[in-house]
Amino acid sequence: MPNIPREFSDSATSSADNPLTDRVRARVAEAARNLDQHTRRPRARKALQEPTLHTPKHNREARSLRRVFKELAVTHREYRVRTGQRASPALRNAAKAFKQSPSLPSLVVVAAFLDEDGLLAW
């Protein structure tokens, strides 16, 4: 199990000298760049029907975090299929915490589990 407190504190994952945090931050930035390249202009009618309370920058960041989370989920699912193992309760709790409050620190906690198993190629 990764050396991250069970309460998933932000201080454990936000220090500047944490290489995993830097790697996850870089992956999220890459996902944001990819989103920028593939973003289409929203339809005017849809934009009028669904007003947003968040800034475009906030939406872009949230989408980037979710994209990396989904990438981690696929990687872990493939690993479980190959090995026949089940997801640990701690990983499930970390994933649930990310889904409830998507943020870089909560994503780093999820990534730490995969990194410990050698599943991160980045």
**Residue 23 vs residue 36, higher pLDDT:** 23
SS3 content of the chain, % helix, strand, coil (to 5): 70, 0, 30
Helix or strand run (H / E) with residue 90: helix 89-100
Mean pLDDT of 75-84: 96
How do residues 29-77 score in pLDDT, each as one tens digit? 999 998 877 665 555 555 544 555 556 777 889 999 999 999 999 999 9
**Average predicted confidence (pLDDT) for the chain:** 82
**Mean of pLDDT values over 73-91:** 95
Q: Which residues contact 97 (CB under 8 A, 6 or more apart)?
A: 8, 106, 109
Note the pTM of the prediction, 2 decimals. 0.72
21, pLDDT greater than 50: yes
Mean pLDDT on 106-120: 96
